[in-house]
Structure 1
Amino acid sequence: MAPGSVPLLNTRAMALNRLRDFSEGFRDAAAAIGLQPQSAAGYVNRAHSESGLDRRGEMLEDLRRAAELDPKFREKYEAAVRLPEDSDTALLFDDLVGAGGAAAAAEAPARRSLPLWPFALAGLLLVGFGVFSSPGIRERTTQFFSRAPADVRSAPAAEPGAPPSAFWGRYEVRREIAEGGMGVVYEAFDRGLERRVAVKKMRDEIRLNRRERERFLNEARTVAKLHHPNIVEIYSIEEDGDDAYLVFEYVEGRTLHEIIQEQGRLSLAPVKHVFLGVCSALEYAHGQGVVHRDLKPANIMVDKNGAVKVMDFGVARQAADAAGNHNQTNTVIGTLPYMAPEQEEGVVRREADIYALGVCLYEALSGDLPFKGSPGAALLSKRDAKYAPLGRSIGGLPEAVDRLIGRALQPDPEQRIHSAREFFQELDHAPNS
């Protein structure tokens, strides 16, 4: 086999996974997919690596893709979807030497049947003798691994033997943008309206659960009613057979998270500009009775013209607090470092978004989070409001900013700033230098 060939990469990935070297197995599987996006074995091997790396969501998505490319992997994918979240997913891959070897053999140029054991043995020998220590092969592997997920993962494909999807007949898929707890997001082109859009396809573990599917669609309908210049707009909610899709505004730009990662921390003036848009979006949403529940820098987009858009209201919830009552839910949704203490206990109220605003402001100005450590330790620190004030580490930062953050991060929501409008007013009054 030639250096960098798909069967060679898949055989080595399979062997590395069997040796529990999941990071290296992931690299080789990703490289195989980069060379041949239709490699079902590559997706299965990468799913095995992701299982070992405790990346369940990505594992399920890769198994889904493998099942679309080769029906013999559908049973494995369906078994994965049925597994409880706390189950050991490694059990799914006990037979992978046979499955991976068979798939790798199918991708080789020769069409005649071959016994499976040589492929497993070859993989172990490749590992043992360090064939991939060759600079040329390793460089090629690293190049594919270092690409963004959108370049490695392929657009969704119709299941083999199934009729063409009516939904994807109206949209041209360009690339995968992101993947989250609720679904996979693609950049697409709306053929009818001739415009770029973003499409979120509901995850299979949600699609196959009737209650979760209805929750997903009901919350999407709630968000679709929001129309504001600082909120990414949902154009339509569409169902195609068992699948459900959200079609929404495509924003070309960078997230606040990406900007912070690039610059380390931001000065106060540009932060004010970003938070003006964010606070405007939240003030409007709260006025409509909608709580975001997952506000964080990764969900704040700054487009190429500097306009600010809050996105991923997909976990938003209608708040029943018009008369002072608050929703209690059995489903805790959000991102832990940005979640208010009461939100971690399942209480949904608008002050949780204000708390997340405070965490986002702290991170934007410092490049760091106020509460770190294990989830339990971070929750204790939140309840005691134990964090390092920014004035201690950032010279020249107005005291008013620390006071604002302190009010936003109050453990008791009744003592917290109660509106996004008030939050921005206090921020705006702080001198820039």
Structure 2
Amino acid sequence: MSRTTARPSPPLAPGTKPGPGYEVLAHLARTGWLDIYDAWSEERDCRCVVKVVRPDRHHEEQLRERLLREGHWLRTFTHPHLVRAYETFETPEPLVVLESLTGETVAHLIHRLPRRPAATDIAVLGVHLCSAIHYLHGQGLLHLDLKPSNVVVDCRHAKVLDLSVARAPGGAPPGIGTHCYLAPEQARGGRLTAAADVWGVGVTLYEVASGDVPFHSGDTMDEGEAMDGTGDPDGRDDWYPQLEEPAPPIGSRRRLPHGLAAAIDSCLRPDPAARPTVPELAAALDATLPLQRRQVSPSTDG
């Protein structure tokens, strides 16, 4: 169903109750299909995050189902490097309640820090991402949208957000995920495997290390809304530079220890079968760390 052309309704005002036991404190963000709120939980006596479908898109059943599916997964899953969901509501409108994370997204840190993070912090961040992805794969899901804006780091601890485009391995339409972060097989469509998420870890670490993505879309899509294969609300084209050329080696953007650079580059091989498995990647990243730093979370201070 196409998006309505009606003028979007304003976000809910502070004090509004979006669901039983929750009160809006502030509007945090509006995406192409979601409103995200800072809210107060009366039962838990704490802040939380509430995600709802935007009022102008309530009529789109696939978006309602997409939100509730993500909420169900995040309530069911338990992992130290995945955000938690407290509960979901189906009526009067779909609503997901998530834990409120302190800290910052990695995307924000990339632009805020005066210098690039240390190699050890990059490696440990990669180990944390591998841990979360390994768990998801064990639950029968691919994340398919790993990127710096979907990772929060706080108190030397990383958590992965957003399962809105996650799906089981297998055939998929082209373009699932975010344009300049897609593995080549995601861009072209077809069979998706765990190797697509290995690419996601690699492209995230590449941007953290260098301050930029290896591929650009040629416009403003770099931090665009993730696509789930059910439609193109932003009218994007189907040109993907990652289908035309390999990623430039990370060493062309920044000098890193050989083992870390090799691990990042191995994630971005065009052929999925040539990329390491998640356990192999985690081991390669962990091997680059000094013994006393292994199993320690990444710092947010660069």
| Unaligned segments of structure 1, at least 5 residues | 1-56, 66-152, 159-164
CA contact (8 A) 2:15 2:24 kept: no
Distance change >3 Å, CA 186–CA 371, structure 1 → 2: same
Q: Which SS does the other structure have where 1:314 is aligned?
A: coil
How far does the alpha carbon of each residue in 1:116-156 deviate from its partner, in whole angstroms, 9 at most, with x for none?
xxxxxxxxxxxxxxxxxxxxxxxxxxxxxxxxxxxxx7637
Distance change >3 Å, CA 187–CA 269, structure 1 → 2: same
* Structure 1 letter corresponding to 2:178: T
How far does the alpha carbon of each residue in 1:312-370 deviate from its partner, in whole angstroms, 9 at most, with x for none?
122222x1x4xxxx13247x432111111111233443221111111111111111111
Equivalent-residue separation in structure 1 for 2:137 and 2:257 (angstroms): 29
Deviation at 1:181, TM superposition (A): 3.6
Indicate the residue corresponding to 1:355 in structure 2.
199
Deviation at 1:275, TM superposition (A): 2.2
Equivalent-residue separation in structure 2 for 1:329 and 1:300 (angstroms): 25
**Is 1:195–2:55 an aligned residue pair?**
no
Which structure has the higher relative contact order (CA within 8 Å, separation 6+)?
A: 2
Q: Which SS does the other structure have where 2:95 is aligned?
A: strand
Indicate the residue corresponding to 1:245 in structure 2.
95
Indicate the residue corresponding to 1:338 in structure 2.
181
Indicate the residue corresponding to 1:120 in structure 2.
none
Indicate the residue corresponding to 2:246 in structure 1.
385
Equivalent-residue separation in structure 2 for 1:213 and 1:357 (angstroms): 28
Deviation at 1:414, TM superposition (A): 1.7
Indicate the residue corresponding to 1:417 in structure 2.
276
TM-score by length of 2: 0.79
Q: Which SS does the other structure have where 2:81 is aligned?
A: coil
Deviation at 1:182, TM superposition (A): 4.0
TM-score by length of 1: 0.56
CA contact (8 A) 1:371 1:378 kept: no
Equivalent-residue separation in structure 2 for 1:423 and 1:190 (angstroms): 39
Equivalent-residue separation in structure 1 for 2:211 and 2:33 (angstroms): 27
**Is 1:301–2:152 an aligned residue pair?**
yes
Distance change >3 Å, CA 378–CA 408, structure 1 → 2: farther
Indicate the residue corresponding to 1:73 in structure 2.
none
Distance change >3 Å, CA 425–CA 226, structure 1 → 2: same
Distance change >3 Å, CA 382–CA 157, structure 1 → 2: farther
Q: CA RMSD in A?
A: 2.7
Percent identity over paired residues: 32
Distance change >3 Å, CA 392–CA 358, structure 1 → 2: same
Indicate the residue corresponding to 2:266 in structure 1.
407
* Structure 1 letter corresponding to 2:164: G
Deviation at 1:210, TM superposition (A): 2.4
Q: Which SS does the other structure have where 2:277 is aligned?
A: coil
CA contact (8 A) 1:258 1:298 kept: yes
Alignment size in residue pairs: 268
- Larger Rg over CA atoms: 1
Equivalent-residue separation in structure 1 for 2:239 and 2:207 (angstroms): 15
| Unaligned segments of structure 2, at least 5 residues | 220-236, 291-302
Q: Bigger shift: 184-193 or 375-384?
A: 375-384
